[in-house]
């Protein structure tokens, strides 16, 4: 039964005649195993494993958004989440999660202990539930950003989980495999810069507990992460400061009012231009959830990809829905409207034109940018200079997603 289930799950993802033949061969073997009493008692490793592992319920394992490889700091990365729902009546404690290349069960990543704690988010977990524990009926979300070494990207991922019942830590771990997902083969969309010049800090970090990447919205019947690859762009001076004089005054921020550029030839699908903003950070306005993006522009890039620009300056939006824009065209100005930490441009790409979260965030690459350095610690951004790039790193980057909290420069004309 188990073997048949695996084959059924695999078949739609396979391509090519030789693989089809392999599938037929495996199906024939499965049929023999299933129909021959001798095979079940022959003491094969498969038979022994089946005898040693009684059937038990555990997790439903799902990868809702298949990963698309995107290059970050010279290496391809797979960014995605594994959702685990506990369908048993007991709290289950995760011991280790392995990411496997499903073709040959090679371990691509093994996560346990503190690393597992950092990667696991348990929405609304019951108070007092232990670390790595998923209560009955509850869900855990594991966040992966896998940097792939070497030239060969896995095409099909699978996950292996070792776990035990919360009340029986000495118990031998139970193992469950699942969460198969095909890696998307298409390259991420390559875009022009959303801003000119620099230095601009690419503010995001996948590990932030409440940052873009970890905010799941369950709208329109599905849990999604629209900001999976979102970046907040904040302009700095050479000393790493965000503002001249008093940082509380929005108008003192270096980025405030900077031109925002179309990243591609595209069609405008949505705009807002009338949401007010305060003149100071301390006087920050309260916004309804629906207005959290502030003034914004959404561009249809084609192929079910949409670019989102948020927190624009009131009255600065120069385009209207239905209008065609050219790459590099000025469409608005950096502002402080909506739920923003300061004057900044929020930019992301997603698979639907919903500014309210009913869309999955997609990776994107910037065609060309210069890396000036990076911050090791987000808390020093705005207070100290960034750490310059080491000599061994190439400053000029093409077709990459900027790495977390790097400081970059774009061309003067937005089309370097
Ligand atoms: Zn943002």
How confident is the prediction along the chain (416 residues), in pLDDT tens digits per residue?
333 333 333 333 333 334 444 444 444 433 333 333 333 333 344 444 445 567 788 999 999 999 999 999 999 999 999 999 999 999 999 999 999 999 999 999 999 999 999 999 999 988 888 889 999 999 999 999 999 887 788 999 999 999 999 988 888 899 999 999 999 988 899 999 999 999 999 999 988 877 899 999 999 999 999 999 999 999 999 999 999 999 999 999 999 999 999 999 999 999 999 999 999 999 999 999 999 999 999 999 999 999 999 999 999 999 999 999 999 999 999 999 999 999 999 999 999 998 778 999 999 999 999 999 999 988 899 999 999 987 777 799 999 999 999 999 997 654 44
Q: How far is the CA of 231 from the centre of ligand 1 (A)?
A: 6
Q: How far is the CA of 337 from the centre of ligand 1 (A)?
A: 12
CA-nearest of 162, 98, 168 to 130 is: 168
Give the span between the Cα atoms of 183 and 99, in whole angstroms: 13
The widest CA-to-CA distance across the chain, in whole angstroms, is 83
Q: Which residue ranges form the domains of the chain, and what is each CATH number?
A: 1-55 (no CATH), 56-182 (2.60.40.10), 189-409 (2.70.70.10)
Q: How far is the CA of 21 from the centre of ligand 1 (A)?
A: 48
Q: How far is the CA of 412 from the centre of ligand 1 (A)?
A: 24
Q: How far is the CA of 310 from the centre of ligand 1 (A)?
A: 8
Q: How far is the CA of 341 from the centre of ligand 1 (A)?
A: 8
Q: How far is the CA of 116 from the centre of ligand 1 (A)?
A: 26
Quote the distance between the C-alpha of residue 409 and its chain's center. Answer: 24
Output the pTM of the full model. Answer: 0.85
CA-nearest of 374, 394, 395 to 204 is: 374
Q: How far is the CA of 230 from the centre of ligand 1 (A)?
A: 6
Q: How far is the CA of 311 from the centre of ligand 1 (A)?
A: 9
Residue 385 makes CB contacts below 8 A (sequence gap 6+) with 238, 239, 240, 373
Residue 298 makes CB contacts below 8 A (sequence gap 6+) with 268, 269, 270, 271, 306, 307, 308, 309, 353, 355
Cis? peptide before 199, omega within 30° of 0: yes
CB atoms within 10 A of CB 54: 7
Q: How far is the CA of 259 from the centre of ligand 1 (A)?
A: 17
DSSP 135-164: -TT-EEEEEEEEEPPSS---SEEEEEEEEE
Pairing of strands 70-72, 156-165: unpaired
Q: How far is the CA of 345 from the centre of ligand 1 (A)?
A: 7
Alpha-carbon distances of 57 from 12, 136, 142, rounded to whole Å: 26, 11, 20
161 is written with which tokens? 């989980």
Q: How far is the CA of 250 from the centre of ligand 1 (A)?
A: 17
251 is written with which tokens? 């108008």
Q: How far is the CA of 294 from the centre of ligand 1 (A)?
A: 11
Residue 274 makes CB contacts below 8 A (sequence gap 6+) with 295, 314, 315
């Amino acid at each position: 039964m188990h073997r048949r289930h695996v084959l059924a799950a695999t078949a739609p993802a396979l391509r090519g005649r030789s693989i089809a033949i392999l599938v037929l061969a495996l199906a024939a073997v499965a049929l023999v195993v299933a129909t021959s009493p001798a095979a079940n008692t022959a003491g094969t490793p498969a038979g022994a494993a089946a005898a040693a592992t009684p059937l038990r319920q555990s997790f439903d394992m799902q990868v809702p958004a298949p990963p698309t490889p995107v290059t970050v700091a010279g290496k391809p990365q797979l960014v995605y989440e594994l959702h685990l729902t506990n369908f048993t009546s007991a709290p289950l404690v995760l011991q280790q999660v392995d990411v496997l290349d499903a073709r040959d069960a090679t371990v691509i990543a093994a996560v346990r202990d503190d690393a597992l704690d950092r990667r696991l988010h348990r929405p609304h977990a019951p108070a007092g539930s232990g670390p790595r524990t998923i209560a009955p009926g509850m869900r855990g979300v594991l966040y992966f950003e896998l940097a792939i070494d070497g030239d060969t990207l896995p095409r099909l991922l699978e996950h292996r989980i070792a776990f035990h019942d919360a009340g029986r830590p000495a118990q031998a771990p139970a193992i469950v495999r699942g969460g198969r997902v095909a890696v998307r083969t298409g390259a991420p969309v390559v875009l022009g810069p959303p801003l000119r010049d620099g230095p601009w800090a690419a503010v995001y970090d996948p590990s932030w507990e409440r940052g873009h990447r970890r905010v799941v919205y369950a709208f329109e019947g599905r849990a999604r992460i629209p900001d999976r690859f979102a970046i907040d762009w904040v302009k700095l001076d050479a000393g790493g400061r965000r503002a001249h004089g008093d940082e509380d005054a929005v108008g003192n921020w270096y980025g405030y009012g900077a031109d925002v550029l179309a990243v591609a030839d595209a069609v405008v699908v949505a705009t807002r231009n009338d949401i007010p903003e305060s003149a100071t950070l301390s006087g920050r306005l309260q916004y309804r959830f629906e207005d959290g993006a502030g003034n914004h522009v959404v561009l249809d890039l084609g192929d079910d990809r949409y670019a989102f620009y948020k927190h624009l300056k009131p009255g600065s939006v120069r385009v209207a829905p239905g209008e065609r824009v050219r790459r590099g065209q000025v469409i608005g100005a950096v502002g402080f409207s909506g739920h923003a930490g300061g004057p900044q441009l929020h930019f992301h790409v997603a698979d639907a034109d919903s500014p309210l979260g009913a869309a999955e965030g997609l990776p994107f690459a910037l065609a060309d940018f210069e890396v000036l350095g990076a911050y090791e610690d987000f808390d020093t951004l705005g207070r100290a200079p960034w750490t310059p790039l080491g000599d061994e790193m190439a400053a000029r980057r093409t077709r990459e997603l900027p790495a977390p909290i790097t400081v970059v420069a774009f061309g003067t004309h937005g089309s370097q």
